Amino acid sequence: MFALHPSQLRVVAVLCVIVLLATYFVMFRDVSGEQHKQASTRPRQRSALPSHLPSPGPCACPKGSSILKTSIPENQYEELLQRRAKEFQKYKARTSSVLSRLLFALPNSPLQYPIQGYTVRPLTATLIPGLGIYAGERNSYKVSLSVSKGVLTTETPPEGVTVKGAGEKEVILESSSLVILNDLLAKVSYASTIYHINTGDLATFQFEDHKAVFPIAIRQPHLPVLYDMGTDISSQVTITTKTFLRYDKLNVLLKSIRQFYRNIKVIIADDSLEPEKITGENIQHYIMPPSQGWFAGRNLAISQVTTKYFVWVDDDFLFTKNTKLEKLVEVMEAIPELDVVGGSVQGGQFHFVLEYEEGDEIDGGCLNRRSNTKSHPLPGFPQCSLASGVVNFFMARTDSALKVGFDPKLLRVAHSEFFMDGLGSLLVASCSDVPIDHQPKTKANKDPRYSRFRSPGRDDTIYKLQLHFFKNNLKCIRYG
């Protein structure tokens, strides 16, 4: 044997490492290549797609909430819960739709179809826009369309196209020409077979292994309800209020209104025990049965408004030179989506945000009123912010308020409840630059009977909680 020089040993070691690395590379390439080949030939598995979002679980009551079931007598609770559950199912039937189903656009689909905006009138045939297939060359092309609440029709097919099921819930079209088939697809119409003013259907569109589902909205068009704005504030706005045993306050309010708005109409709902006559030009005074309550009076007053907007004021407010109703009209006209705009009372806006979790159907939802909270500034009006509810001095679109209404079951203390009932229906903002004053509280002009009716007792508080439990399907509520 012979000894290698150290430099020669290093060369041999390097060559061995190179050989080992080359061998590993070749082996790894073969294995990974085989795995890739197997993966490319294996059919891809799609995960199951949900058709609906999962139902919400029980909601968590905010700290400090009133648990509403504790206001229900134990011997009545189970029966009341069952009645509430039945009413809630009827509510869902009126407000839910097949169009709430989740729809997914699958990858690499050759199908073209409308994904939004296809709306038809009930029982009226309407072309389905945008239908088509875009596929490579084949000997024959076969597509199918199916619906559940209507029928599908098309024009008389040209030569070379077969149509099966025209006038039925499913139609099948087949042709050797993609151009002719797409031309016929462009002439397919849908007509609902059951009259409903606001519902929907789902259409299934299939070509070979490719299937898509798209929504069809079925709606009876609304007749527009337009208000002639006229030329001045008096033809645009009505002032509304309710009074009870406070004629001294009411007369001060009316005097302040006339100081700045001589011709604007004022509507008064009055459920005083011994009504007094209120007269004056452009004043409508409606006498109610005694002590019918706060919200009943609001309903009556607003039901008589004929202008596009009304302003709500308490009977002890006071107009000043800064109470510019024109500013509130400007905001409402600039943002047509708005339904309510609040001002400020003696510098306080008293706006709040409602946080609502639906919870599950059995227990009900959780509602949190966060006082002195707002969302974000109203675009174009930095002095205004979006919120869920505002102070008792506000301007509202008459038709929007009438749709929500004021629950006449609430006799005494009630205000937030209007905005609770309107949550999701009313778009609300609060503006700091339109103030109104509050008349001073003095003993001299206070009817001793007023306090007895004004301040709610324990029975009134419990009744309001019971009302929220059933009417609003709530588990708990927090007035923060």
Whether 72 maps to a domain, the answer reads no
pLDDT at 81: 95
Pairing of strands 266-270, 283-287: parallel
Q: Which domain holds residue 471?
A: 233-479
Q: What is the pTM of this model?
A: 0.84
Do 256 and 196 share a domain, yes or no?
Answer: no
pLDDT at 242: 96
Nearest to 268, CA basis, from 260, 230, 259, 246: 246
pLDDT category at 10 given cuts 50, 70, 90 is low
Do 321 and 409 share a domain, yes or no?
Answer: yes
Looking up tokens 């409508």 gives 284
Element of type H or E holding 9: helix 6-41
**Tokens read off for 167:** 């006038």
Do 263 and 320 share a domain, yes or no?
Answer: yes
Question: What are the φ/ψ torsions at residue 32 (nearest 5 degrees)?
Answer: -65, -35
Whether 149 maps to a domain, the answer reads yes
Nearest to 323, CA basis, from 378, 379, 257: 257
pLDDT at 255: 97
How many domains does one find in the chain?
A: 2
**Residues 248-303: pLDDT tens digits?**
999 999 999 999 999 999 999 999 999 999 989 999 999 999 999 989 999 999 99
**Residues 23-71: pLDDT tens digits?**
544 444 444 444 444 444 444 455 566 766 677 789 999 999 999 999 9
Q: 142, 178 in Cβ contact below 8 A?
A: no
Mean confidence (pLDDT) of the chain: 89
Q: 354, 402 in Cβ contact below 8 A?
A: no
Do 171 and 257 share a domain, yes or no?
Answer: no
DSSP 8-state symbol, 62: P
Query: 56 CB contacts (<8 Å, ≥6 apart)?
Result: 357, 358, 359, 360
Residue ending a domain, among 165, 190, 219, is 219
Residue 64, sorted as left (phi over 0), alpha (psi -120 to 50) or beta, turns out to be: left
Do 194 and 304 share a domain, yes or no?
Answer: no
Do 150 and 273 share a domain, yes or no?
Answer: no
Give the span between the Cα atoms of 378 and 382, in whole angstroms: 6
Do 209 and 319 share a domain, yes or no?
Answer: no
Query: 107 CB contacts (<8 Å, ≥6 apart)?
Result: none
Alpha-carbon 120 to chain mean position? 22
pLDDT category at 460 given cuts 50, 70, 90 is confident
Nearest to 288, CA basis, from 306, 411, 296, 449: 296
Whether 326 maps to a domain, the answer reads yes
DSSP string, 361-416: TTTEEEEEEEET----EETTEEEEEEESB--S-EEEEHHHHHHH---TT--SS-SH
Q: Which amino acid is at 403?
A: K
Task: Give the Cβ contact number of residue 386 at 10 Å.
Answer: 18
Q: 311, 395 in Cβ contact below 8 A?
A: yes
* Average pLDDT of the residues in 416-422: 96
* Average pLDDT of the residues in 95-122: 88
Do 349 and 460 share a domain, yes or no?
Answer: yes
Give the span between the Cα atoms of 276 and 287, in whole angstroms: 9
Residue 409, sorted as left (phi over 0), alpha (psi -120 to 50) or beta, turns out to be: alpha
Whether 242 maps to a domain, the answer reads yes
Whether 8 maps to a domain, the answer reads no
CATH number of the CATH domain containing 365: 3.90.550.10
Q: Kindly compute the dihedral angle of the four CA atoms of residues 398, 403, 404, 406, in this order, to the nearest 10 degrees.
A: 70
Q: Which amino acid is at 71?
A: S
Give the span between the Cα atoms of 95 and 361, in whole angstroms: 15
pLDDT at 391: 96
- Give the SS3 label for residue 312: strand
pLDDT at 454: 67
Residue ending a domain, among 195, 219, 243, is 219
pLDDT at 401: 97
DSSP 8-state symbol, 346: T
Residue ending a domain, among 219, 249, 277, is 219
**Is the pLDDT assigned to residue 372 strictly greater than 60?**
yes
**Tokens read off for 326:** 């024109």
Q: 378, 331 in Cβ contact below 8 A?
A: yes
Do 144 and 239 share a domain, yes or no?
Answer: no
Nearest to 383, CA basis, from 345, 348, 429, 337: 429
Do 174 and 247 share a domain, yes or no?
Answer: no
DSSP 8-state symbol, 68: G
**Residues 308-362: pLDDT tens digits?**
999 999 999 999 999 999 999 999 999 999 999 999 999 999 999 999 999 998 9
Whether 162 maps to a domain, the answer reads yes
**Within 13 Å and on the Cβ side, how many CA atoms surround 435?**
11
Do 254 and 358 share a domain, yes or no?
Answer: yes
**Residues 171-199: pLDDT tens digits?**
999 999 999 999 999 999 999 999 999 99
* Average pLDDT of the residues in 216-230: 93
pLDDT at 451: 67
Q: Which amino acid is at 461?
A: T
DSSP string, 98-161: GGGS-----TT--EE---S--EE-TT--EE-TT-EE-----S-EEEEEE-SSEEEE-PPPPTTE
Whether 295 maps to a domain, the answer reads yes
**Tokens read off for 7:** 């430099």
pLDDT at 273: 93
Pairing of strands 132-133, 111-112: antiparallel
Q: How far is CA 41 from CA 37, 38, 44, 209, 234, in A?
A: 6, 5, 9, 18, 77
Do 355 and 417 share a domain, yes or no?
Answer: yes
Whether 27 maps to a domain, the answer reads no
**Percentage helix, strand, coil, to 5, in the chain?**
30, 30, 40
Element of type H or E holding 266: strand 266-270
